[in-house]
Amino acid sequence: MLRRKITSVFLLYAFLIPTAAFGQTSSAPAVYQAPKDVIDKIKEEGSKNSQVMQTLSYLTDVIGPRLTNSPQMKRSNEWTRDQMTKWGLQNAKLEAWGPFGRGWTLKNFDAEIVAPYNIPLIAYPKAWSPSTKGAVTGEVVYFDAKTDADLEKYKGKLKDKIVLVSETRELKANFTGMGNRHTDEDLTKLANAPDPATAPRNNNAQMSPERMKAFVDRFVSGAKRMNFVMQEGAAVVVDNSSNGSGGTIFVSGASVAQNIPADLTDFTALRRALLQPQQKEAEAKMLPQMTMATEDYNRLVRMIRQGENLKMTVNIQAEYSDADPMGYNTVAEIPGTDPKLKAEVVMLGGHMDSWHAGTGATDNAAGVAVAMEAARIIQSLGLKPRRTIRVALWSGEEQGLFGSAAYVKQHFGEMKPGAQNQPGALSKTADYENLSAYYNLDNGTGKIRGVYMQGNSAAAPIFKSWLEPFKEMGATTITLSNTGGTDHQSFDRIGLPGFQFIQDEIEYDTRTHHSNQDVYDRIQADDMKQAATIMAAFVYQTAMMDEKIPRKVMQ
Ligand SMILES: [Zn+2]
């Protein structure tokens, strides 16, 4: 799942406006339901012969973190293609999109305080960080600059220093535990949520001027600070984990010293001008950088405030790969068998790319393993779907839903940008009419509790009846609400039925999502089996019904 940090806000802004241009369709097709014995077989295969944890272990334990365009990402593209081929899926292949930018692989890393005495540290380099010049040792400076005037105080004082750039973060005892599931009350609230189409137009499609100004202000002050630290010649930049404690660190992409354009009123232009760390040109505008565990970070700041003179040794050795700037999605099919309907497609998937400090288990090897398993269940039972079923495993999701967005543009169509703040115009390919629905799983390890309808009320009675056989497994809720930050949006924003399931949160925000603890052991096997079984049933029934899943219409 894509996280809304400041650069993502700029990225997400681009997705918001076209979505609002679709409203509700009126006609709903008859509800098709698969025979009970087929659903029972799917349940049995999904629970007794499940391969989902085996798939997950290979992706996380063996292949490891899968940063977009890293060699490990490519390996996971190839492994999933070959694995699905082994299961009997057809047309398994890698589809290129991009260019995205360079790959990055960590080769060596150490960080420790070496004076006044040794303190081992919990820290991780940020993705696409440049290397240090060998192991560097420098004085640790707390860069406590909030205003332009504060910057002056640090003039000439950062050269070759290890610079702590974040504020400290107070940690409180955790009395409630980290994991949770949706309560009946949560689910009732979701079920009763209003149709987003009835909300005031553009309610959530445009940012208020105040919010926009706040984002721009944050961008400008962040850029000024980073440019200053860079110009002063710091050796390494260290930031404080923005969330988590007790050994859990949240780490993502490196910060780039951004140019500050003269015109700050054009949000779209501002977004386009941002340099991303995966771009080659960004290398000269980044310092070696890492994120530190909050307990360690806070302690170092307190020691400096007590007057201690700290020295740190840091060695970050990373390798960029520039041979192939293209990103890849893996796709594979179970061909349809109905002469008329086999040209139509039902898609399912999740994103395979991850951040690098853990092994991307809940974000999102879980969704990949579940989608692959759902297809394996249908394939191994020899069910003959009428429509073609296509698994798609995306990359570039973490940097802005890039893989799915490019796929949708290439295969189905795109929303041509409108004038500033105006809805765009939809341009369709021939296959636009051939997609029935896309089902996405990208909210972690939690089991499925229902479906976000994205305002598609015509499809609600169909999904309601498809959840019926899974009541005892906890999946009951249909909400008209939208949910965001995942690849179903690439479909939804051009009016194609794209859905993300409602999932139990488990430890997603508290512990795993983008952290060093996003690993196999945080995955709940029974939840994964439940999710794969329900996804298989949804995909199969979508492939079997006479009509396609109803769509929202352009308003
Ligand atoms: Zn994510």
Kindly tell me if the per-residue pLDDT of 26 is higher than 60.
Answer: no
CA–centroid distance, 414 to ligand 1, in Å, is: 24
* CA 78 to centroid of ligand 1, rounded, Å: 21
Residue 261 alpha carbon to ligand 1 centre in Å: 29
What is the Å distance from ligand 1's center to 2 Cα? 4
Question: 3: CA distance to ligand 1 center in Å?
Answer: 6
The rounded percent of the chain whose pLDDT value lies above 90 is: 84
The SS3 assignment for 293 reads coil
* Residue range 76-111, pLDDT digits in tens: 999 999 999 999 999 999 999 999 999 999 999 999
pLDDT for residue 202 is more than 60: no
Question: Is 407 a residue whose pLDDT tops 60?
Answer: yes
- Structure confidence at residue 424 (pLDDT): 78
pLDDT digit string (tens) for 296-346? Answer: 999 999 999 999 999 999 999 999 999 999 999 999 999 999 999 999 999
pLDDT on residue 15: 47
Q: Ligand 1 centroid vs 234 CA: distance in angstroms?
A: 30
Question: What separation in Å is there between the alpha carbon of 179 and the centre of ligand 1?
Answer: 18
- Is the pLDDT assigned to residue 199 strictly greater than 80? no
> Ligand 1 centre from 510 Cα, in Å?
13
Query: What φ, ψ does residue 36 adopt, rounded to 5°?
Result: -55, -40
Compute, in angstroms, the gap from residue 356 CA to the centroid of ligand 1.
11
Instruction: Compute the distance from residue 484 Cα to the ligand 1 centre, in Å.
Output: 12
Q: What is the pLDDT of residue 272?
A: 85
Contact 457, 24 (CB under 8 A): yes
Per-residue pLDDT, 421? 62
What's the 521 CA to ligand 1 centre distance in angstroms?
18
- Is 517's pLDDT higher than 50? yes
Residues in the chain: 555
Tell me the pLDDT band of 4, cut-offs 50, 70 and 90: low
| Confidence at residue 120, expressed as pLDDT on a 0 to 100 scale | 98
What is the reported pLDDT for 285?
97
As a whole number, the mean pLDDT across the chain is 93
Higher pLDDT: 4 or 442? It is 442
Residue 29, pLDDT score: 80
- Residue pair 1/407 in contact by the 8 Å Cβ criterion: no
With bands split at pLDDT 50, 70 and 90, how would you rate the model's confidence at 200?
Answer: low
Task: Tell me how far CA of residue 386 lies from CA of 341, 342, 430, 462, 516, in angstroms.
Answer: 6, 6, 20, 18, 43
Centre of ligand 1 from the C-alpha of residue 486, in Å = 8
Rounded Cα gap, residues 433 and 430, in angstroms: 7
- Calculate mean pLDDT across residues 514-541: 98
Measured CA to CA, the distance from residue 72 to residue 79 in angstroms comes to 10
Whether 205 has a pLDDT exceeding 60, the answer reads no
Indicate the pairing of strand 448-452 with strand 477-479.
Answer: parallel
User: pLDDT at residue 177 above 80?
Assistant: yes
Asked if pLDDT for residue 8 goes beyond 60, the answer is: no
Ligand 1 midpoint to CA 525 (Å): 20
Judge whether residue 68 has pLDDT over 60: yes
Give the least confident one: 214-218, 272-276, 418-422.
Answer: 418-422
- Residue 73 alpha carbon to ligand 1 centre in Å: 15
- Report how far residue 176's alpha carbon sits from residue 425's, in angstroms, rounded to the nearest whole number: 48
Asked whether the beta carbons of 250 and 514 are under 8 A apart, the reply is: yes
Under the banding of pLDDT at 50, 70 and 90, the label for residue 18 is very low
pLDDT above 70 (res 11) = no
Residues 360, 536: Cα–Cα separation, whole Å: 23
* Distance between Cα 460 and ligand 1 center (Å): 28
Interatomic CA distance for residues 140 and 312, integer angstroms: 6
- pLDDT beyond 80 at 283: yes
The confidence score (pLDDT) of residue 225 equals 96
